[in-house]
C-alpha cells in the first residue's frame, strides 16, 4: 500500500506543479503586487526594507482578496514549515519566512522550495509515510506523513489556482 500511496502522491504533486509552472512562467513582476480590489492582503515593504505580509490572527469577515505576492509568500511559509517538521527541525515562525520580492526572485524561491521538497520526498521510505505527523494538524488525530503529503498537494493546487486566476484577471484587464 505504501508504494502505491507514494506513487500516487508523487504523481499528484508533479501534476499540480506542472499546472503551477504554467503560470509561474508567465508572471511578470507587476503581477505580484496588483490589487484587484480595495480589500486586499498583500506584502508591504517595511522601514527595514523587508517585505511584511498582511496578517490577522483571526480571519476577517469578509476575507481580503490576496495578491499574488501574498499567495506566493503564503506558499513559502507553509511549505517551509512543513519541511521543517518533516526534517525534524524546529519549525520557523511565520514572521521568520520572508518574501524575496516581485518577479524572478520569488519564482526562483518557489522553484527552490520544490527542489528541496522533492529531496525530502526521495528520502522518505515507505514506512515513513505511515508515521505520525502532527503538522499541519494541531491534535493527536492519527494523521500520517502520507496525510501531510496529500495536504501539501491540495494546498499547492489551491494556491496555484488562485495565482493563476489573478494572473488571468490582470492580463484580461490589460486587453
* CATH number of the CATH domain containing 139: 1.20.120.450
pLDDT-wise least confident of 8-22, 71-85, 115-129: 115-129
User: Residues 127-136: contacts with CB within 8 Å, 24+ apart?
Assistant: 127/2, 129/2, 129/5, 129/6, 130/2, 133/85, 133/86, 134/85, 135/81, 135/82, 135/85, 135/91, 136/78, 136/82
pLDDT average, residue stretch 1-18 = 86
Number of domains forming the structure of the chain: 1
pLDDT average, residue stretch 145-170 = 96
Cα 15 to its chain centre, rounded Å, is 15
CA distance 141 to 165: 34
Map residue 44 onto helix, strand or coil: strand
| pLDDT tier at 147, thresholds 50, 70, 90 | very high
Whether the predicted pLDDT of 134 surpasses 90: no
Whether the predicted pLDDT of 17 surpasses 70: yes
- What pLDDT sits at residue 2? 61
Which has more pLDDT, 112 or 2?
A: 112
What residues make up the domain containing 25? 2-44+63-174
- Residue 57 inside a domain? The answer is no
- Residue 90 backbone dihedrals phi, psi, to 5 degrees: -60, 130
Mean pLDDT of the chain: 93
- Residue 51 inside a domain? The answer is no
Alpha helices in 41-103 (DSSP H): 68-87
- Name the grid cell of 130: 505511515
Whether the predicted pLDDT of 174 surpasses 90: no
Amino acid at each position: 500500500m505504501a508504494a502505491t500511496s507514494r506513487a500516487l502522491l508523487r504523481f499528484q504533486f508533479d501534476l499540480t506543479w506542472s499546472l503551477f509552472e504554467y503560470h509561474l512562467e508567465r508572471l511578470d513582476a507587476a503581477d505580484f503586487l496588483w490589487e484587484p480590489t480595495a480589500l486586499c492582503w498583500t506584502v508591504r515593504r517595511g522601514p527595514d526594507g523587508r517585505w511584511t505580509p498582511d496578517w490577522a490572527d483571526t480571519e476577517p469577515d469578509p476575507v481580503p482578496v490576496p495578491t499574488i505576492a501574498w499567495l506566493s509568500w503564503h506558499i513559502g511559509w507553509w511549505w517551509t514549515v512543513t519541511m521543517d517538521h518533516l526534517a525534524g527541525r524546529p519549525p520557523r515562525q511565520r514572521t521568520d519566512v520572508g518574501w524575496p520580492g516581485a518577479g524572478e526572485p520569488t519564482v526562483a524561491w518557489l522553484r527552490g522550495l520544490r527542489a528541496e521538497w522533492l529531496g525530502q520526498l526521495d528520502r522518505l521510505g515507505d514506512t515513513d509515510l505511515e508515521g505520525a505527523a502532527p503538522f499541519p494538524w494541531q491534535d493527536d488525530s492519527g494523521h500520517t506523513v502520507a496525510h501531510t503529503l496529500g495536504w501539501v498537494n491540495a494546498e499547492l493546487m489551491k494556491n496555484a489556482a488562485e495565482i493563476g486566476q489573478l494572473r488571468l484577471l490582470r492580463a484580461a484587464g490589460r486587453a
